[in-house]
Amino acid sequence: MSNDILKQIDKAVKEHDIILFMKGTPEFPQCGFSQRVAAILDSFGVRYVAVNVLLDPAVRQGIKDYSDWPTIPQLYIGGEFVGGCDIVSEMYESGELKTLLEPYLPADEA
Amino acid sequence: MSNQIQTAELERLIKASIPDAEVSVRLFSGDDHFEMEVASASFAGLSKIAQHKKVYAALGHHMRETIHALALRTRIKT
């Protein structure tokens, strides 16, 4: 795994407050798990960057190496790995995700 | 070995590396989409991510090859 892909991923993760590595796009998700996480983020109205890992096999594998996490989607908030569909869903249900997203909520909602 | 894996084998793998684990696993679609809950006292003090990573480590190469999708819930067994 060339480490410049890892550097590129690290740069993207650090540059964007909220970044979701997913299969497909929020408008056209290609996998139910990716769709669910995108929908959860959309429900908060937060701005986020979505990276379609299906476009580049190096990114699709690189992100798994970067986080040492075997699956897609992967959500990062504030440069930190939050989890995949299971953990994000659990955090959404417990309200923990809203707390994490607080600084990034649109003005009128905060 | 066929690349199919049975739920009993998944349960055996989890218990082999997490001895006190209570495991419930079901096939939820096709032959490689699984739903699994794992409860263990060894999860105490671990973040959710670390708990899930412990389960993925127990599943080893199956996570990359035979399991296409795994909906996983972990619980601390008190």
Domain ranges of chain B: 7-76
User: Which of residues B4 and A24 earns the better pLDDT score?
Assistant: A24
User: Which residues on chain B are in Cβ contact (under 8 Å) with A69?
Assistant: 49, 53, 56
Give chain B's end-to-end CA distance (angstroms, integer): 37
Predicted confidence (pLDDT) per residue in A36-60, tens digit: 999 999 999 999 999 999 999 999 9
Would you tell me the crossing angle of helices A3-15 and A57-67 to the nearest 10 degrees? Answer: 70
Instruction: Indicate yes or no: CB of B49 within 8 angstroms of CB of A70.
Output: no
User: Quick one: CATH architecture of A3-101?
Assistant: 3-Layer(aba) Sandwich (3.40)
Q: Which residue of B has its CA nearest to A80?
A: B49
Tell me the torsion sign for CA atoms B3, B57, A17, A8: negative
d(CA B38, CA B30): 22
3-class SS of residue A84: coil
d(CA A84, CA A67): 11
Of B49, B56, B71, the CB nearest to A70: B56
Residue pair A69/A85 in contact (Cβ under 8 Å)? The answer is no
Mean pLDDT in residue range A58-64: 96
Domain ranges of chain A: 3-101
Predicted confidence (pLDDT) per residue in B69-78, tens digit: 899 999 999 8
Tell me the torsion sign for CA atoms B64, B70, B76, B78: negative
- Chain A nearest C-alpha distance from B70 (Å): 9
Amino acid B63: pLDDT:
85
Label the pairing between strands A49-52 and A18-22.
parallel
d(CA B51, CA B63): 15
Amino acid B50: pLDDT:
97
User: Which residues on chain B are in Cβ contact (under 8 Å) with A94?
Assistant: none
Q: Which residue of A has its CA nearest to B64?
A: A70
3-class SS of residue B49: helix
Which two structure tokens, joined as six digits, stand for B25?
């696993």
Predicted confidence (pLDDT) per residue in B2-25, tens digit: 556 789 999 999 999 999 999 999
Helix, strand, coil percentages (3-state) for chain B, rounded to 5, are 40, 30, 30
Predicted confidence (pLDDT) per residue in B33-68, tens digit: 899 999 999 999 999 999 999 999 999 988 888 788
Q: What is the pTM of this model?
A: 0.91
User: Quick one: CATH architecture of B7-76?
Assistant: 2-Layer Sandwich (3.30)
User: Which residues on chain A are in Cβ contact (under 8 Å) with B56?
Assistant: 69-70
State the amino acid at position B51 in one-letter form.
Q
Q: Is B33 on the interface with A (CB under 8 A)?
A: no
Instruction: Indicate yes or no: CB of B48 within 8 angstroms of CB of A83.
Output: yes
Would you tell me the crossing angle of helices A85-94 and A32-44 to the nearest 10 degrees? Answer: 30
Which two structure tokens, joined as six digits, stand for B48?
């959710």
Question: What is chain B's length?
Answer: 78
d(CA B77, CA A3): 39
Interface of A with B (CB under 8 A): 33, 68-71, 81, 83-87, 90-91
